[in-house]
């Protein structure tokens, strides 16, 4: 177990017959992080979460939660972990509060004397205090989702694992869950959030990992993932031929003319060229490119640097699109 990690896996794999659903995943989730677990539907996210929590046996690899090996030490670990996986399930003809009372009573380490106060507090935290006495069959999908999060919050948790927590929520409910996750992290809880909604992860998380076809293709601080993408320049000049010669001397290859721009500009031709990854020392700085162009007598009538968005970066990693809004 590495110090500072709330979740750590090595070579975690799951096979169903000849099909490999999760392939040698090495996760490293720091304590106190809001960690987004991203990937298109069917990429292996939920199967990985089930193995983390001991709900499914791994075909290979190891899992450590909160410094303890899973599933061998699950009796010590799971009371410190709250989870919402694959949607909540409740008794439909009991109220939301009654469901939470029953679920809390099933816990081995819960204190009956404080149960009522803890249920009320959990319902308040997810914005369901007004519906505490309503039967769950009358709840909307979003209300059931929030009730599931309330169940995960009945006791203090060091780690909270949420599988698609904003599923079925309206924009207001989504904002409430986002604010709740941030407040939990501020209190010291590590939050592991699985999602296919890129915009939610972008606004909520400090770290992220990206799954594609069962493999982990990237992970780290969200800022590093943003910066790891490529950038390109867009130049408008009436001296297109001379500009291309300057760019070639700098090791920059303009894109084919038909891919560079849609409509011609009255100020000249638009040239687009990749600058590469900012961290690469060989990539020239944008201001250096402009200086070389001006020195060569190229008239620069427009110059912009376009950085790869987080969505572009993740699509490049997975080869598939992400939903970017509810």
* DSSP letters for 303-321: EEEEEPPHHHHHHHHHSS-
Maximum mean pLDDT: which of 7-21, 131-145, 262-276: 7-21
**Of residues 55, 54, 48, 53, the one with CA closest to residue 20:** 48
Position 237 scores a pLDDT of 93
Using CB atoms within 10 A of its CB, is residue 44 exposed (0-12), middle (13-18) or buried (19+)?
A: buried
For position 325, what pLDDT does the model report? Answer: 42
At 2 the pLDDT is 56
Of residues 137 and 280, more confidence is placed in 137
pLDDT of the residue at 20: 93
Answer yes or no: are the C-beta atoms of 216 and 207 closer than 8 Å: no
pLDDT at 34: 94
What's residue 232's pLDDT?
Answer: 82
Grouping H, G, I as helix, E, B as strand and the rest as coil, residue 22 is strand
Show me where the domains of the chain are located. 5-224, 230-307
pLDDT band at residue 318 under the 50/70/90 scheme:
low
The pLDDT assigned to 49 comes to 94
Q: Residues 186-238: pLDDT tens digits?
A: 888 999 999 877 778 888 899 999 998 899 988 999 888 877 667 789 999 99
CB 296, CB 242: distance < 8 Å: yes
The pTM of the whole model exceeds 0.85: no
When pLDDT is averaged across residues 125-129 and rounded to a whole number, the result is 87
Q: Give the pLDDT band (50/70/90) at residue 261.
A: very low
CB within 8 Å of 161: residues ≥ 6 apart: 49, 52, 53, 81, 82, 83, 84, 85, 192, 194
Helix, strand and coil percent figures for the chain, each rounded to 5: 35, 30, 35
pLDDT, greater one: 268 or 7 = 7
When pLDDT is cut at 50, 70 and 90, the band that residue 299 belongs to is: very high
pLDDT at residue 292 is higher than 90? yes
3-state secondary structure of 179: helix
CATH of domain 230-307: 3.30.70.260
Percent of the chain with pLDDT over 90: 44
252 or 2: which leads in pLDDT: 252
CB 296 within 8 A of CB 246: yes
For residue 1, what pLDDT is reported? 47
- CATH topology assigned to domain 5-224: Rossmann fold (3.40.50)
Rounded average pLDDT over 269-284: 72
pLDDT of residue 275: 79
pLDDT at 93 over 80: yes
CA dist., res. 33 & res. 221, Å (int):
9
Out of 12-16, 84-88, 208-212, 303-307, the most confident range is: 12-16
- Dump pLDDT digits (tens) for 29-55: 999 999 999 888 888 999 999 999 999
Q: Predicted confidence band at 258 (pLDDT cuts at 50, 70, 90)? A: very low
pLDDT band at 322 (very low <50, low <70, confident <90, very high): low
Name the most confidently modeled range: 15-29, 102-116, 196-210. Answer: 15-29
Q: Please determine, for residue 280, whether its predicted confidence score (pLDDT) is greater than 80.
A: no
């Amino acid at each position: 177990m590495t110090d500072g990690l709330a979740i750590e896996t090595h070579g975690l794999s799951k096979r169903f017959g000849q099909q490999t659903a999760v392939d040698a995943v090495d996760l490293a989730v720091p304590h106190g992080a809001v960690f987004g677990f991203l990937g298109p539907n069917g990429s292996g996210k939920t199967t990985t979460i089930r193995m983390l929590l001991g709900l499914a046996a791994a075909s290979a690899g190891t899992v450590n939660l909160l410094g303890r090996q899973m599933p061998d030490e699950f009796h010590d670990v799971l009371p410190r972990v709250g989870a919402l996986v694959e949607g909540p399930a409740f008794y439909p003809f009991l109220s939301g509060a009654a469901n939470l009372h029953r679920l809390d009573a099933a816990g081995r380490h819960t204190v009956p004397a404080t149960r009522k106060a803890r249920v009320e507090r959990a319902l308040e935290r997810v914005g369901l205090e007004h519906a505490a006495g309503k039967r769950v069959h009358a709840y909307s999908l979003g209300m059931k989702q929030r009730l599931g999060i309330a169940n995960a919050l009945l006791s203090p948790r060091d780690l909270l694992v949420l599988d698609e927590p904003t599923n079925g929520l309206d924009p207001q409910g989504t904002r409430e869950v986002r604010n709740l996750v941030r407040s939990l992290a501020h209190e010291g809880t590590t939050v592991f959030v699985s999602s296919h909604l890129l915009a939610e992860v972008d606004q909520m998380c400090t770290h992220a990992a990206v799954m594609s076809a069962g493999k982990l293709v990237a992970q780290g601080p969200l800022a590093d993932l943003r910066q790891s993408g490529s950038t390109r320049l867009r130049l408008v000049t009436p001296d297109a031929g001379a500009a291309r010669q300057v760019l070639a001397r700098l090791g920059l290859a303009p894109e084919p003319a038909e891919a560079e721009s849609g409509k011609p500009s009255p100020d000249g031709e638009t040239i687009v060229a990749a600058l590469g990854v900012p961290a690469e020392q060989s990539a020239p700085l944008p201001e250096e490119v402009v200086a070389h162009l001006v020195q060569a007598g190229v008239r620069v009538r427009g110059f912009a640097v376009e950085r790869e968005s987080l969505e572009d970066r993740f699509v490049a990693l997975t080869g598939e699109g992400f939903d970017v809004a509810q």
